[in-house]
Chain A
Amino acid sequence: MSHVLHSTELTVDLDNGKRLIFPELHLNKGELVLLQGASGSGKSTWMHAIAGLIPLASGSVHIEGQGSLQSGKKAPKQWRRNGLSFMPQRAFFWNSLSLKGNLDLAAWCKGLHVADADLDTLGLADKTSQAAHSLSLGEQQRVSALRSFLGNAPVLLADEPTASLDDSNAEALMTLFKEHAGDRAILVSSHDQRLAPFVDRILHLA
């Protein structure tokens, strides 16, 4: 397998003066990886650091074909547009937009003309004009996942996506990830033990 993402010597300085040091990370194409660790271990911070949402104190992240994110430097221009997709813990849908409007917004952010997300696969085709936040929590997270698939970035980082989901919804979401892992690498952070059976590999963050 070829490495799609490779990060080395990644460290992040927190506001409280504490420095988090993260291990080397490789993600391979077609791989669904679970990042496990206790609450407060820094899983989300690591995700944010890789996504370029928090400045790096040291180290670098390289995505094949997309360049490198390095400490002290701005993230490459297209880093979150073409390089990776980031799925936050909550969907953060825009209240003012419908379900389709939220997908259109995501497509617009990624420079796409249309949101080619297939809501039929989620059984939500008849809800496209509804306010996105009126969907159930499970549906919201699945739509959020579908939104992060837009643009076909080679890496998807999903931060605690199942934190508030019941078993069936968590299973549906992980199945969705599995189905879309074929041409990308997906890293899911969670302390949720239910996810282990769905993934190819598990990383532990102490």
Chain B
Amino acid sequence: MNALSFAFKALWHRKATSVFIALIWALGLLGLAVTSRLETNVEAQLTRTLEGTDLLVVAKGSPTQAILANVFHVDQATGNISRAEADKWLSHPDLRNVRRLAYGDNFQGVRILGCDSATWNHVPLRALEGRWPEAALEVVISEAVAQKSGLQIGDAFHGSHGTVDDLGDHDHHDYRVVGIASSPAPQWAEMIWTPLESVWAVHEDAPEEYTAVLAAIPNPMTRLMLPGQIQRTSSLMAISPAMEANRMVGWMNQGGAVLRLLSILLTVIAALSMFLLLQSHIRERLSDYALVRAMGGTWGQIAGLVLGQNLLLALLALGLTYMGLALALNLSSIWVPTGVLLYEDLWWNLGQDLPWIGLTLFLGLFAGLGPWIWLQKIPLHRALVDS
């Protein structure tokens, strides 16, 4: 037998209180862990999604909305831009991997994205059944859309006006499915790709327009200068997505700070509860510890018994925290906003946890120090006689 086994039995003897305190503590730790993981994951997702996109040209409006709509495909576009005006800039010699988008209509609420081959070549693929479109009104649907709608390769459908499903049908233009694509990237989970020409053909009365143009700019000086130049000399809005992403991460971190503060509060409350629990346990069972001294136990052994209880509580809280993290990851589809992807490698990167694991163990031991020191000031003979 050793100090930890005696400490464990002392905790087990009052298991309801012990588990309750460990739970409060775990909730605080879980808040801290989930906040930092969400920040890391969203930041990584922004970085990974924005890779290869140094310039976004759109109609004037909110830059954040423009990024959400044209990169993450989760918001309404800021408007359309003139094809002729945009094309003038697309011949810039420093632009690479130019992708042109024209929002079309929708099918059962799923966006029909008019785009060029550069766009679908940019889509990370798990699998592609069939082929990418080669002519107007051919479409590739994502795997989720295929499952939801039951559409197969060779099937035809017609889209509805706009990006919602209740504005009337283009029943005289049928799209034909030529491929089903499966992509691990969440922004491409529910999507219908079609050539730009499809969108222009369906809206034959409207001028040919883009919704957005995306491009990579390998030259750092051009990357810095070109957005401003486009802004100044045209009616277009040019955005550097990386800079906007930094701003978005900054906002997110502010939101995270509130959650983090609440989590720290919970953790402090748990540490305080643990201190009070131990203190009241020792007061109540003072004779137990006096007996240990009377039987020849050293103050070091008593420290083992007292601090051991808190150490075990801290370990229990950590265990519960990781169980909570596993549960949160498994249930992420329920609580994580659409379009946000949790990366398992980042979720289980335990290196990021070392500071708060250290803090937890420190708090546990620190909360035990007070009762242990108090115990040393109690006259042993009184504890044995008065009890």
Contacts and interface: CB of A to CB of B under 8 A. Distances in A.
Contacts of A53: 293-294, 380-381, 384
B331 interface: no
Contact of A109 (B2, B9, B297): B297
Interface stretch (A99-107, A172-180, A196-204): A99-107
Interface string A107-139: 111110000000000000000000000000000
A6 interface: no
Most buried by B among A54, A80, A86, A109: A109
B296 A81 contact: yes
Contacts, number: 81
A96 B12 contact: yes
Interface in B1-49: 1-3, 6, 9-10, 12-13
A148 B295 CA distance: 8
Contacts of B385: 44, 48, 89
A26 interface: no
A151 interface: yes
B295 A80 contact: yes
Contacts of B224: none
Contacts of B384: 48, 53, 88-89, 92
A90 B288 CA distance: 11
Contact of B6 (A45, A81, A105, A151): A105
Closest 10 CB pairs of A and B: A81-B296, A96-B13, A109-B297, A109-B295, A48-B381, A80-B296, A54-B381, A92-B291, A104-B1, A53-B380
30 contacts: A45-B381, A48-B385, A53-B294, A54-B379, A78-B296, A80-B293, A80-B295, A80-B296, A86-B295, A88-B291, A88-B384, A90-B287, A92-B290, A92-B387, A94-B9, A95-B285, A96-B9, A96-B12, A97-B6, A101-B1, A101-B6, A105-B1, A107-B1, A108-B1, A108-B3, A108-B6, A108-B301, A109-B301, A110-B295, A111-B296
